Amino acid sequence: MNSAIAKEAWIAADQAIRKDYPKIRSFLAAQGGTARFEAYYSGYHVSTLHDLRSATKSVLSILLGIADAHGRLPDLDQPVWNSVNDHAPKRPDPLWSELTLRELLTMTTGLYWQTGPRLGERFLRRFHLSRNWADFILRLPVIPEQRGKFQYCSAGSHLLSVLLTKWTGYSALEYARRYLFRPLQISKVIWTSSPEGHSSGHIGLYMTTRDLLKIGLLCLQGGCWEGRTLLSRDWLDRSMSPHAPSFNGYGQYGFHWWSAETGGIRYSYAHGHGGQQIYIVPDLEAVVVFTSESRVNRFKNPKTLLEKIILPALHPM
């Protein structure tokens, strides 16, 4: 693609956002380590902190990968019960003692939960109103016939944050500051907590668009940043590999990352409600970031914009 055609493609993407995606706040694309396009909309700017919603889950997955590199995680198939049973009710579901880290990462625990085709979670408000989120989760029954099947479940993601603290001694925010944000020179973040003080594992992280790009570049570079390995390429490969059938146009789920394919190009991405997204496209050496208004009931997924306009613009020249 020559430079004139590439420029036209970026103009087309920008115009499509302004016309058809009024809730998008920012759009940033980088390729080969160089920014290709950056724009902010509706009065938002480079220093705005954006509510990542469920894209928080993918950052938590990275933190678990860092903990794994530090030797702080148990085997993926080892039950996690002994690390969380202090939150259990007097008569917990007996199947809880079998649930593993792998099942939590892939959302295949079989926990009693209801999620709609657009990832709306019926019990999430009740969960948020509870006085102790960890206790609420441990009271959920396990449905035997659902174990091993993908069921999007934010409660399990929060439990991963609780486990990260058990295994490292740090909250997810503290661990991120030490071993992720500091190496990437990310200083301006907010990460909200549960009523009992654990960093939220499913939502709650606020970051700037450029800092989200750094997260994407770290993943694109196989866990390395400026010559330092923060987490293993193997962890990232497993995180971004499918562990479940495709779900309603979102793609396939890995370790708290989605993956999909279009036109022979595979990509992985973090996704949050409203359109908070980090796309990693290894074949094109590219990272694409969208942030959007998060307090919406319905929204237009930027994934279509990515596939139809942006990926063609990123094809090698």
Q: What is the DSSP string of 255-294?
A: SS-EEEEETTEEEEEEEETTTEEEEEEGGGTEEEEEEE--
Q: Which amino acid is at 304?
A: T
Q: How high is the pLDDT of residue 2?
A: 52
Would you state the structure tokens that stand for residue 80, as one six-digit string?
């996690």
- Give me the helix-helix angle, 56-69 and 154-168, nearest 10°: 30
Q: How high is the pLDDT of residue 7?
A: 80
Judge whether 150 and 111 are in contact, CB under 8 Å.
Answer: no
Residue 15, strand partner residues = none
Given a cut of 80, is residue 317 above it in pLDDT? Answer: no
> 33-75: per-residue pLDDT in tens?
899 999 999 999 999 999 999 999 999 999 999 999 999 999 9
> 243-288: per-residue pLDDT in tens?
999 999 999 999 999 999 999 999 999 999 999 999 999 999 999 9
Residue 144 sits in a domain of what CATH number?
A: 3.40.710.10
Given a cut of 70, is residue 4 above it in pLDDT? Answer: no
- CA proximity to 162, closest of 130, 132, 131, 128: 132
Q: Sign (positive/negative) of CA torsion 186, 13, 249, 223?
A: negative
Q: Which residue, chain included where needed, has tokens 């090698």?
A: 316
> 287-316: per-residue pLDDT in tens?
999 999 999 999 999 999 999 999 998 986
Tell me the residue length of the chain.
Answer: 317
Distance in Å from the first CA to the final CA of the chain:
4
Q: How high is the pLDDT of residue 9?
A: 86
The tally of domains found in the chain comes to 1
Strand pairing class (205-207; 50-51): antiparallel
Given a cut of 60, is residue 96 above it in pLDDT? Answer: yes
Return phi, psi of residue 53, to 5°. Answer: 50, -130
Provide the whole-model pTM.
0.97
Q: Which amino acid is at 267?
A: Y
Domain that holds residue 288: 3-313
Express the helix, strand and coil content of the chain in percent, nearest 5 each.
40, 20, 40
Q: Which amino acid is at 247?
A: F
Q: How high is the pLDDT of residue 136?
A: 97
